């Protein structure tokens, strides 16, 4: 492998790292920097990869302006038996980025040309600065300043982080004059942000049968509530043959989760428009405000080139492990749905995922879609097996069936379906874990693994 316009190699952590990162921030496609590999592609590794990772984060935070937080990932990898670091850099929305020490000058600004970071001509610096987006959620002052963030603090604590007294500044929830910005408003305990999930009986919007409203609270909480609600709607679809009963969700749960989070993180909130989620008989539509980011083509969008619209939200969602690597969401969706599922306009992006066919018994008889709540019974994978487990209570069986139908459902999602509080759900989960029926794999972004053959 050789260096390209999007790949840079460094044998070790050196003084020129910020220059290379700035060049990729100013480049329309972003790029990747590998530390521990020389210019010829030979792997040397790093003696202290963890220590270098902390140094890199600190340097990029303090030496680059405007802030690059939320625009880069640092990933530890093993190659040829050696530890290396991979820095994924997104194309920044506030070009030109520059070294804090030298400001917006040819000595401080760089651009990627071929496989090298070159000084940016002053004319280009001036042109980029003139185009810089000033109407972003970080620069808009929140309409109210009496904001509290207890929900956000709880989510950080659950992810193993602690928010100190200066968290608002560190998370860039303040304007330059120290007031709460619109990003802070979206993440506060109380706001006027309304998120709607609508459900229709048919294929059009003429017959609305359910309208759920979330929001008015921390955007992270609203995101989790929408994920849980749609996970419940993503009921199991069954095909019965003479030999077996084949089951699958109406929509791929991995792609669906990525699409929901993408809609929240990349939505254009500057006009106070929020993402919209609509469930039809034959499809689900997820619509977010804002077209393609400026300078990003459809091809680059599908290839995973990342230009975060709201870098403050991106950073926080990454801290809370709702988002993985920069640029990973769209390629993950495309593993299950085609490019035709995406619709673009000047002001909106809509993702449309068609549902899988309804259940069909062999011989052509339509059996209907199975799953969800119906007549007090919870449908899902392996229901009959779960019903036969004598040592479980009725409520524990209900919890286990929900997990079987969606192994990524959260505690709050189960509580919403069963209409009991989360503390009671936690007790049932603990009992199921202690009895060996379920095991949590992968932490916050993980899933439940079920074992019905433990005996």
Q: What is the mean pLDDT of the chain?
A: 86
**Reported confidence tier of residue 372, pLDDT bands at 50, 70, 90:** very low
Q: Confidence band (pLDDT; 50, 70, 90) for 47?
A: very high
User: What pLDDT score was predicted for residue 359?
Assistant: 42
Structurally, how many domains does the chain consist of?
A: 3
User: Above 70 in pLDDT, residue 58?
Assistant: yes
Residues 216, 322: one domain?
Answer: yes
Residue 275 lies inside a defined structural domain of this protein: yes
pLDDT digit string, tens, across residues 134-183: 668 998 999 999 999 999 999 999 888 888 899 999 999 999 899 999 99
Measured distance CA(318)–CA(316) in Å, rounded: 5
237 within some domain: yes
Residue 409: Cβ within 10 Å count: 23
209 within domain boundaries: yes
Which residues are CB-neighbours of 126 under 8 A, at least 6 positions away?
Answer: none
Domain residues for 408? 371-450
Residue 149 lies in a domain: no
The pLDDT assigned to 104 comes to: 92
Residue 282 pLDDT class (50, 70, 90 cuts): very high
Let me know whether 402 and 294 are in one domain: no
% of the chain beyond a pLDDT of 90: 54
Residues 119 and 41 grouped into a single domain: yes
Q: Do 233 and 322 belong to one domain?
A: yes
Q: Are 398 and 350 part of one and the same domain?
A: no
* Whether residue 103 is found in the same domain as residue 203: no
Q: Is residue 169 part of a domain?
A: no
How far apart are the C-alpha atoms of 401 and 382, rounded to whole Å?
8
147, part of any domain? no
pLDDT of residue 263: 95
**pLDDT recorded at residue 360:** 43
Query: Which of 114-128, 345-359, 379-393 has the largest mean confidence?
Result: 114-128
Q: Which residue has the higher pLDDT, 386 or 166?
A: 166
Residue 368 pLDDT exceeds 50: no
Residue 340 above 70 pLDDT? yes
Domain of 224: which CATH number? 3.30.565.60
Under the banding of pLDDT at 50, 70 and 90, the label for residue 293 is confident
Residues 124 and 260 in one domain: no
User: Domain boundary residue among 131, 148, 172?
Assistant: 131
Q: Give the containing element (helix H, strand E) for 163.
A: none
Distance separating alpha carbons of residues 335 and 411, to the nearest angstrom? 28
Q: Do 258 and 302 sit in the same domain of this protein?
A: yes
Rounded mean pLDDT of 233-239?
67
> Within a domain: residue 438?
yes
pLDDT tens-digit map of 410-455: 887 787 677 677 778 888 898 899 989 898 887 766 788 888 876 5
Angstrom distance (rounded) from CA 141 to CA 358:
49
Q: Which residues pair with 174 in a beta bridge?
A: 180
Please tell me the predicted confidence (pLDDT) of residue 454.
Answer: 60
Phi, psi of 129 (to 5 degrees): -65, -35
Element (H, E) at 213: strand 208-215
- Residue with the bigger pLDDT between 398 and 1: it is 398
**Helices and strands (DSSP H and E) totals, the chain:** 15, 22
Instruction: For 192-213, write each residue's pLDDT tens digit.
Output: 999 999 999 999 999 999 999 9
- What CATH number has the domain bearing residue 76? 3.30.950.30
Cα dihedral 431, 433, 437, 438 sign: positive
List, in order, residues 6 or more apart from 246 with CB less than 8 Å away: 238, 239, 240
12-22 mean pLDDT: 94
Tell me which of 110 and 233 has the higher pLDDT: 110
What is the band of 363 on the pLDDT scale with cuts at 50, 70, 90? very low
Partners of 74 in beta bridges: 87
Residue that finishes a domain, picked among 111, 131, 151? 131
CATH of the domain at 424: 1.10.10.10
Task: Decide if pLDDT at 370 tops 70.
Answer: no
The least confident of 15-24, 206-215, 230-239 is: 230-239
**What is the model's pLDDT at position 236?**
62
Same domain, 379 and 343: no
190 belongs to a structural domain:
no
Calculate what percentage of the chain has a pLDDT beyond 70.
89
Same domain, 200 and 306: yes
Q: What global pTM score does this model have? A: 0.68
107-116, 128-137, 259-268, 377-386: lowest mean pLDDT where? Answer: 377-386
Q: Are residue 49 and residue 114 in the same domain, yes or no? A: yes
Regarding whether 333 and 412 lie in a shared domain, the answer is: no
The residue among 131, 157, 176 that closes a domain is 131
CA distances from 324 to 197, 319, 349, 435 (A): 25, 9, 21, 32
pLDDT at 114: 92
Task: Please state which of the ranges 52-61, 223-232, 369-378 shows the lowest mean pLDDT.
Answer: 369-378
């Amino acid at each position: 492998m050789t260096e390209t316009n999007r790949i840079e190699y460094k044998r070790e952590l050196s003084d020129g790292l910020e220059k290379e990162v700035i060049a990729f921030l100013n480049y329309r496609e972003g790029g990747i920097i590998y530390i521990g590999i020389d210019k010829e592609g030979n792997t040397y590794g790093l003696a202290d990869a963890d220590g270098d990772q902390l140094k890199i984060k600190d340097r990029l935070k303090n030496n680059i302006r405007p802030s690059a937080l939320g625009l880069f990932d640092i990933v530890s990898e093993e190659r040829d038996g050696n530890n290396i670091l991979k820095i994924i850099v997104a194309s920044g929305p506030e070009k030109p980025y520059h070294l804090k020490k030298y400001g917006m000058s040819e000595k401080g600004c760089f651009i990627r040309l071929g496989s090298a970071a070159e000084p940016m001509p002053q004319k280009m610096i001036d042109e980029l600065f003139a185009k810089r987006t000033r109407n972003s959620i970080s620069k808009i002052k929140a309409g109210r300043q009496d904001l509290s963030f207890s929900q956000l603090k709880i989510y950080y604590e659950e992810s193993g982080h602690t928010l100190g007294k200066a968290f608002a500044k560190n998370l860039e929830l303040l304007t330059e004059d120290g007031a709460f910005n619109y990003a802070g408003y979206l993440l506060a305990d109380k706001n006027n942000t309304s998120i709607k999930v609508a459900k229709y009986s048919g294929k059009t919007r003429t017959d609305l049968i359910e309208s759920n409203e979330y929001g008015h609270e921390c955007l992270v909480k609203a995101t989790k509530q929408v994920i849980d609600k749609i996970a419940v709607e993503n009921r199991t679809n069954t095909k019965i043959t003479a030999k077996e009963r084949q089951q699958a969700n109406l929509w791929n749960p991995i792609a669906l989760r990525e699409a929901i989070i993408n809609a929240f993180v990349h939505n254009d909130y500057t006009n106070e428009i929020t993402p919209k989620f609509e469930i039809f008989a034959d499809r689900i539509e997820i619509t977010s405000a804002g077209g393609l980011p400026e300078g990003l083509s459809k091809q680059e969008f599908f290839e995973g080139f990342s230009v975060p619209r709201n870098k403050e939200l991106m950073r926080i969602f990454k801290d809370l492990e709702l988002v993985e690597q920069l640029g990973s969401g769209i390629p993950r969706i495309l593993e299950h749905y085609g490019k035709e599922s995406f619709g673009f306009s000047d002001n909106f992006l809509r993702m449309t995922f068609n549902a899988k066919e309804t259940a069909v018994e062999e011989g052509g008889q339509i059996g209907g879609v199975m799953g969800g709540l119906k007549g007090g019974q919870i449908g899902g994978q392996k229901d009959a097996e779960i019903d036969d487990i004598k040592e479980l209570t009725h409520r524990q069986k209900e919890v286990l069936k929900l997990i079987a139908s969606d192994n990524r459902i959260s505690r709050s999602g189960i509580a919403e379906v069963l209409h009991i509080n989360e503390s009671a759900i936690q007790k049932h989960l603990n009992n199921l874990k202690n009895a060996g029926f379920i095991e949590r794999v992968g932490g916050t972004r993980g899933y439940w693994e079920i074992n019905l053959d433990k005996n």
